[in-house]
Structures are given as C-alpha cells and as structure tokens.
Structure 1
Amino acid sequence: MKMLEDLSLAPYMTFQTNKTRPIHRWFFYKEGYAPEIVEYAVRREGLCCSDNMLLDPFCGVGTSLLAAKGMAMRGFGIDASELAVFVSKTKCANYEKTDLAEIRDFLNAKHGQKEPTIKWDFELFNPRAAFPKRNFNDILSLREEIESAHCGEKAKNLLLLALLSILPQTSIIVKDGGVLKIDKRKRAMPAREAFRRRLKQMIDDIEHQQFFGPEPVVELGDARRLNFADEIFDIAVTSPPYLNNVDYSKIYGLELSLLSLSGETTKETRKKLIRSFIKGAGDDDYVPKEVEELAARLPIVGTYFADIERALSEINRVLKIGRSAYIVVSNSVIFNEHIAVDEILGQIGERLGMECEIIVGAYRIADVKPQRIETRESVVVCRKI
C-alpha cells in the first residue's frame, strides 16, 4: 500500500477554516474538515459535471454535501444523528427572498415575555444549570416562538438552526475533549442578542454568498447498512467518527435535545453511532484480523474497526467500478498506545478487494502525559477495482 505526503492539505484537515466561511460557519463542528478536501478529491478523480453523484455516509454538518452542491454535483448524505441531518439539510437548501422576508418578520415581531411552557430535558444534567437564568428562559421562549411561527418550513429551519448554533456562546458550558463541563467563570453572551446576530449573519451569507445548485438528499440512517443500489456513486468523501474518548451524542447533546425536545434522543442516537469511544465497546464477536492482537488489549479497537469494515464494505458496494472513496481519518493514542488508523483502514480495504493508498495531510503531537506522541491525519483513498 502506497503512502505519500501532501502537507498542503494540513489547514483543511480540521474545521478551523470553516469558522469564517459563509454558510459553512453556521454551526461549529470541531470534528469536521474543510471543503477543500472535497474539491481536492473531485479534481483528483477528474469529475466535473452535474451527472456525477457524491456520497457522504457520515455527513456530519454537511461539508461534503455543500461542497458538492457548489460544484453542481448531486450529493447524498447519511448520518445517525438527527442533529447532523437537520444541520446538513438546512445549510444545503436553496433559499428564496420570501424565506428571508419571513426571517426578518420574525426578528421584527413583538414577542411577548410570557413564561415558556415547553420542557427541555437532557440526559446528563438539567439544562437550566448550563445557562444564566435569563438566557435559559430566553432560549426556551425562542424555541417556543419558532415552533409557533407563521412561516414556511425553510425559514423555520433557519430560525431553529440559528438558535441551536448559539448554545455554546450563551452557556457556561465548556466542551473539554470528550466532556461537558460547567465553568461558572465563563461569560455567557445574552441569548437574544446572539440569536439576532447569528440570523443577520445567515441572511447576509444567503444574500451575498449563496450558490444555487441541486439540493442534496440527506437522510437519517446507518453507514453500515446503506439503502442504495449497487454501483451508483462516482465518489465518496467522508470522515467516520475518530477512535477516541469522545461520545458525540453527549458533546452535542444539548443541541440535539433542544432540537428534538426529548431527553431520550441522546441515548437513542448513541445506539446507532459507530462505536468509536472507549466506553462504547460492545459484545460483538467479530474482530477484523488486522486488529486481533490490538483488540485483545484494547477491546474498543476491535469494535471500532468491525463497524468501520461494515461501512467500508457498503461504500465499496455502492461505488461504481474504478471510482474511489476519500476517507479522512486521524491516528489515535489510547492508553499510551499509538493506533495507526490510516494503515489499518487501508489494509481492511485491500482485503475487501479495493486498491488503497494513504495521503498524509498533517502531523500532530498527541500530548499523552508523560509522553508526546507524533500522529498522522490522513486521507485514505480506497478505489473499487
């Protein structure tokens, strides 16, 4: 298996550059990557027209799908998280002037200060503890006002996305690795002011930066069991959950529970996710032979790569012959042991009959006291042959 370097990709292996990029910036998702990765993959494959179909079976907040739309390609996204599907659909929709007029009407309306009646439950703690009292009440009031707003579905989705996106800056929560911590020293921005600012930013992005194109199909589903016919996709660009100690259903649990207004949503979502975090190891008997020795010491490694193999097998099934999957991964350090995720993924792909290579995009230092271990962030390219 060939391994090569392209360190020009380094700035794009994370979500950082998206923080200032119109539309992409509507919802911060630390675990994402930049659209340049998608553009790089599409150029490398020589794809260019609206007849081409792109798949992202771990679509997250829609980076691949939004990039595909910008290149006039038809995008198809799957995710196990209701939050991810909602964010992706909202970011990738085409908006008309009437949608923006409805947003402005909502902003200009005189909303009463009545006590909110909806309940917000979260699995880990009472959401009330995560916000200053006024912000908590304002967020619930806004959620209720959006629910009853007299506007179309697209405008309502924009309003709700704006509200979900401001939870980090209006709370006293700090996302510390895989943990949500309450930090009473943190200054929380007033919720209604943050909401208004975010909506104005979204309106500006749509008016000046929106590109009309084919709206992608985004569905709730499981990458291990794709509901697509064989050999229909021209390319897949995706990034599965990283092998680490981050439970994504908890880290974005406040946003997910406010979206669904159900305290059970995070638990239900966790059952459907790729098992990538240390406490997610299950009782699955199957362990890919590439990690049998590692899995004996670290059971989550066997669980994770069993799920990844099932997903890669499905990607291979739905790709056209001669077409490739570009899979963004990061190597991991678990209990001071370095896991070469890119190499193992490539080896599994080759066993499945694919032709694989690794493009190293960046090197990072994992500060795992008392050690500092160099790890890679890579794009694993698996071609169906």
Structure 2
Amino acid sequence: MTSASLFEVNDLENTNRLEVSADLGNLWELNGTIHEYAYLTHNFFRYYGKFPSALAKRVINEFIETNGPANIIDNYSGSGTTLVEAVIAGHNAIGVDINPLGVLAANVKTTFLPAQALEDACRKILLVAKDFLESGEAEIAIDHLPMEELEKWFSLQATLELCALRHAIYGFESGTIKDFYLLAFASIIRRVSRAYDGEVRPHINKGKAPRSPLEVFEKKSLDMCQRMKEFGVAVKGEATAACYLGDNRALIKSSEFASESFDLALTHPPYVNCFDYLPVYRLELLWLDGLFNQWSVQSRNLLGSDYLDYKQLRKLETRSWPANPQVIESYRIGNLQMLEGLWQLLRPGAMCCVVIGDSTIKGELLPVHRWFIEMGEMAGFRHKQTIYRTTHYGTGKYAYKNRADYHGKAEKRDAILVFNKPKSG
C-alpha cells in the first residue's frame, strides 16, 4: 500500500485550497499551565513539543473499552507522557522513540525506585564529584573534551563541575539507579549553560546568571526523589511500562509487539515545519557522549546496532522541517507506514488516537490533521471523530481561547483524531 506515488510533491501547492472545518463544538478545554500539568514524574526532564499530561489522562479514561488493565502503545512516545498516565491509571504501556534521551526519560519516569537507595546514590555522587574537583582530576579530564564547543556554551567552572558529576555517575554499575541520575544530569545541562532555559533550539543568553552544576544537580535530584515517592503511591495495581529505542515505521515483531495485542494506541507525531528533535538536545548529547555504554538500554534497543551513532539516528528520525515538498512527502509516507504498523498491533475494535495539529508555511495553511484522517483510513482504520483542543505555546500554558490559530489569521487546529480498528471486514 505504501509508495512514493501516494503523495505527489506538487500536492503542497494545493493544500491551501482544502476546506478547514470551523466547527469547534467537539472541543477539549485544556487550560492548565505547564507547571500544573508537571505533577509526579512528568517534570523529570524538559522535553519540547510534548502534549499535556491531562490530554493523555483523558484519552486513556475515555477510549479504553476493556475491563481491567489494558495494553497501551505510544509509538511516538517522546519522554513518556502517555506511559506515565497509563501506569497511574493501572494499565500496561509500551513506548517507542528514536530519541535516546526521550527513551531514557520515559523508562526512568515509569520505573519506581525505593527512596533510600536513590538518596544514598545521590550522596555518593556528590561526594565523588567534589573529591574529583578538589583533587584536580577534573582539570585533567577536560583535556579530553571538545573544549572549543564547550567554551561557547559553558563557563570553565561549570565545565569542571559537569565533568566531575559525569565522572561520578558514569562510575555506577549500569542499572535503574544509574539511569535515574543520568536523566537528572541531562535535565540540568541547559540550566547551567549560557543558553536560554526555555528556548527549543539553544541560543546564547548574554544576561544569564551563572549557576553551579553541583548545586543545581543536588536540588534537582532531591526533587526527583520526592516525586518518585509520590509516583509509587499513585500507581494503581501492578501496572508496568517500558520504552524502546526504535524506528516506529519498522517495529520488530516480538512478544512485546505481537499482532493484535494492544487495546489503545495514543500517538503524537511531530508537527510539520516545527523542528527536528535530536538537534534540540545537542548540549545534552554533547555531555552524554558514550550514552549507550552507560545506560541500561541494551535490552530495549530495536535498531540492531550496538552503538548509538548520532548520524544514524538522524537518518531514522521522522523529519518535518524544513517543510519543503520533499520533506513533506517523506513525512506523509513515513506516517502512513507508522499507522499501518499500529493497525497490525491493535486488536479488532480498539481505538487509535492521533494527536496532531495544522501548520503554516509563509502564511499558507497546511491542514495536517486532515492529511492524517486520510492516511488513517488508507491504513485500514475508520475515522470516528475529531476532537479539537485548546493550545497555545507562547505563554507557558497549553490553552488560548478556543483554537490554535497562534500564527496570525490562519485557522490552525490542534486535534485528537479518534480512529477505530473494525472488528471485521
């Protein structure tokens, strides 16, 4: 079914002629702030472009039709928002993403760890890091770092402290405790750099006050430990989650991805003309060099490679930017393949919910959510309904009045597309 002939390159020229529905009667008001939605483990790592936790919670509550624990899949899982909400609700969940930092975050956020073990590890990391600094070993170690690039983004003191923290964390045996602190380490990189904290792509903030990585790491780690305690209380039953590093267009058919084994799919493809995800985390990946050898991801690596090569991952990443005709065609073909894969994994009668929004190029509207309705039906699903949601990304909220026309007059829509896999035929 899938071929390049499905989507012609010149199709982009006609997108502005497609009618966009103005019916917002089926609207979900998600008007909480980012802070309000960052409860429990959701705030462990700042992952750009994710949907609000309230959306995942509502989809799970409304579109699972099984009695007892269900099996949920998110094959654009990002940092694991769907997975966290699934286990809180007592369901089992599987995630897939091509971004190793997202996969690390998703697994850490959904794996309960005892408070005492985490607190003991935190104290050890800080002691080893401080000893490494005081001994002068950090000054020797930075000679092996790409200092020309680091000097642009970090002060010398920040570089030394980050080097010491990485040394201390890398000294742990691979496992869930180490993963927890690898994520804590990754989460402070942007904060202690010269880059703006909240920008998607890193840019120098000349007025930014310096911060001590050791102090920021300690504060972040203690907060994560407390939230992990609360998460353990919140999870219902024996629910589990696991996230895999993989290409969502070509999932390995294993016991975890058996045909017709899932009761709900919730997926959030990248928005057209938005940004590619891996380059956003250039500073974090710079400091987590050799991540594959440190992180206990080996058993959840579906790529068939024993080394995480950045260039290899970039080739596999679903590209949505720059939105030229070739990128858009590849984007649509890749997401059709993704939907075809989900169709095979879902049991008959199960729901598939796609969270996607429209985009603009030079003021011209691209009705992307209508493209996905078409692609969902091509994959074999039946489109049941479209739910629009309030969204605004520039104010620290996930809401703005009653629609997502956040670039001028173009009538953009952020939508949850609800599909059903027919029970027969």
Q: 1:10 — aligned with what?
A: 30
- What SS does the aligned partner of 2:28 have? helix
- Cα distance in 1 for residues equivalent to 2:61 and 2:146: 45
TM-score under structure 1 normalisation? Answer: 0.85
Q: 2:266 — aligned with what?
A: 237
- What SS does the aligned partner of 1:179 have? coil
Q: 1:341 — aligned with what?
A: 368
Contact 2:69 2:91 (8 Å CA) reproduced: yes
Equivalent positions of 1:40-51 (< 5 A) are 40-47=58-65, 50-51=68-69
Equivalent positions of 1:24-63 (< 5 A) are 24-47=42-65, 50-63=68-81
Q: 2:321 — aligned with what?
A: 277
Q: 2:394 — aligned with what?
A: none
1:202 CA displacement: 0.8
Say yes or no: does 1:195 pair with 2:235.
no
1:93 CA displacement: 0.5
Q: For the structure 1 residues 72 and 120, does the alpha-carbon distance in structure 2 shift closer, same or farther, using more than 3 Å as the test?
A: farther
Q: 1:304 — aligned with what?
A: 331
1:204 CA displacement: 1.2
List per-residue Cα deviations over 1:201-246 (Å, max 9, x = no partner). 0111122343344331211111111222221110011211111241
Contact 2:28 2:388 (8 Å CA) reproduced: no
Q: Which amino acid aligns with 1:335?
A: K
- Cα distance in 1 for residues equivalent to 2:285 and 2:266: 25
Percent identity reads 23
Q: 1:293 — aligned with what?
A: none
Q: 2:287 — aligned with what?
A: 258
- Cα distance in 1 for residues equivalent to 2:310 and 2:166: 19
- Cα distance in 1 for residues equivalent to 2:363 and 2:170: 48
Contact 2:125 2:169 (8 Å CA) reproduced: no
Q: For the structure 1 residues 16 and 271, does the alpha-carbon distance in structure 2 shift closer, same or farther, using more than 3 Å as the test?
A: farther
- What SS does the aligned partner of 1:231 have? coil
List per-residue Cα deviations over 1:313-358 (Å, max 9, x = no partner). 1111111111111111121112322111111100111222211131
Q: Which amino acid aligns with 2:314?
A: R
- Cα distance in 1 for residues equivalent to 2:247 and 2:151: 33
List per-residue Cα deviations over 1:98-122 (Å, max 9, x = no partner). 4224234325635311333264559
Q: 2:100 — aligned with what?
A: 82
In structure 2, stretches of 5+ residues that fail to align are: 1-19, 292-306, 391-402
List per-residue Cα deviations over 1:47-76 (Å, max 9, x = no partner). 465541000101111110011111111100
For residue 404 of structure 2, the aligned residue among 364, 367, 371 is 364
Say yes or no: does 1:267 pair with 2:311.
yes
- What SS does the aligned partner of 2:387 have? strand
Q: For the structure 1 residues 307 and 108, does the alpha-carbon distance in structure 2 shift closer, same or farther, using more than 3 Å as the test?
A: closer
- Cα distance in 2 for residues equivalent to 1:382 and 1:29: 27
Q: Which amino acid aligns with 1:377?
A: D
Backbone CA RMSD of aligned residues: 2.7
For residue 341 of structure 2, the aligned residue among 308, 314, 317 is 314
Say yes or no: does 1:148 pair with 2:171.
yes
Q: Which amino acid aligns with 1:257?
A: L
- What SS does the aligned partner of 2:410 have? strand
List per-residue Cα deviations over 1:268-289 (Å, max 9, x = no partner). 321111121117x6xxxxxxxx
Equivalent positions of 1:133-212 (< 5 A) are 133-149=156-172, 153-174=175-196, 179-210=201-232, 211-212=234-235
- What SS does the aligned partner of 1:126 have? helix
Q: Which amino acid aligns with 2:210?
A: A
Q: For the structure 1 residues 93 and 241, does the alpha-carbon distance in structure 2 shift closer, same or farther, using more than 3 Å as the test?
A: same
Q: How many residues align?
A: 360
Equivalent positions of 1:78-157 (< 5 A) are 78-106=96-124, 109=127, 111-112=130-131, 113=133, 114-116=136-138, 117=141, 119-121=144-146, 126-149=149-172, 153-157=175-179
Say yes or no: does 1:226 pair with 2:248.
no
In structure 1, stretches of 5+ residues that fail to align are: 282-297
1:251 CA displacement: 0.6
